[in-house]
A = this chain, B = another copy of it.
Amino acid sequence: MDQPKSELDGWVEELLKINDENEKMTEKQIKIISAAIEIFSEKGYAASSTSEIAQKAGVAEGTIFRHYKTKKDLLISVVAPTMSKLIAPFVLKGFGDVMNTHYASFEDFTRAMIMNRIDFVKKNLPVIKILLQEIPFQPELKEQFLKNVGSKVLERLMVIVERYQKEGVIVDLPPQTVIRLTGSAILGFLAVRYIMLPEHSWDDEQEIEHTIRFIMYGLSS
């Protein structure tokens, strides 16, 4: 699953560094968050008990509530950094310019996107599972998600899609439809590969190439 070091990755890493530096979490907090991630993703938020988290984290029950006012607070704290990272590549300033320069072909762009998202999923799988589970039930998360992905990310991607459409390299469907179709192909691969059948033996490189081919042909004008 190696991928060519790309500019995009460079930014993500930078962003992550920033995020991580901001955290200033005590050792106990890290243990709590880690335990929460593990347990939330295993049994679901509602079915997890703070006492089990405390036990797995090796802290007293009360300690959790010293750092996170409520259980829901803990959930948000678990999920927020990953949500940030999720949209990081799209909100970096200069993102558009760079696109112009570095990903001359739509295929390269798609490939970079796919590789980057695979990397992201691999590094954040448990939290992603939690996010998927809880977004429908936590208005806070839903709102945050729609605001970020539905606006910022979509906005950026639309600009990019429109540019490629103007260049005539992809079909002239509504940009949102293009994004939906491309996104479905990529996320469909990630879902099957990492969530539904992670145990299955995969030839990742081939699957990725097939997926890219599918998108390219599917969107060919």
Contacts and interface: CB of A to CB of B under 8 A. Distances in A.
Interface of A: 43-44, 46-47, 129, 133, 136-137, 171, 173-174, 177, 180-181, 183-185, 187-189, 192, 207, 210-211, 213-215, 217-220
How many chain copies? 4
Contact of A177 (B174, B180, B210): B210
Contact of A210 (B129, B181, B207, B211): B181
11 contacts: A44-B137, A47-B137, A174-B210, A180-B188, A181-B188, A181-B211, A184-B192, A185-B185, A185-B218, A217-B217, A217-B218
Contact of A220 (B129, B207, B217): B217
Q: From A43, A171, A184, A211, name the one whose CB has the most chain B CB atoms within 10 angstroms.
A: A184
Given A136-B129, A217-B217, A183 B173 contact: no
Given A43-B137, A218-B217, A183 B188 contact: yes
B180 A192 contact: yes
A207 B177 contact: yes
Nearest to A184: B188
A188 B187 contact: yes
A3 to B, nearest CB: 20
A44 to B, nearest CB: 5
Contacts of A184: 184-185, 187-189, 192
A27 to B, nearest CB: 21
A137 to B, nearest CB: 5
Contacts of A217: 171, 217-220
Sorted from nearest, which 5 A-B pairs have the closest CB atoms?
A: A184-B188, A218-B218, A46-B46, A46-B47, A214-B218
A181 B187 CA distance: 10
A192 B146 CA distance: 12
Contacts of A181: 185, 188, 210-211, 214
A126 B31 CA distance: 37
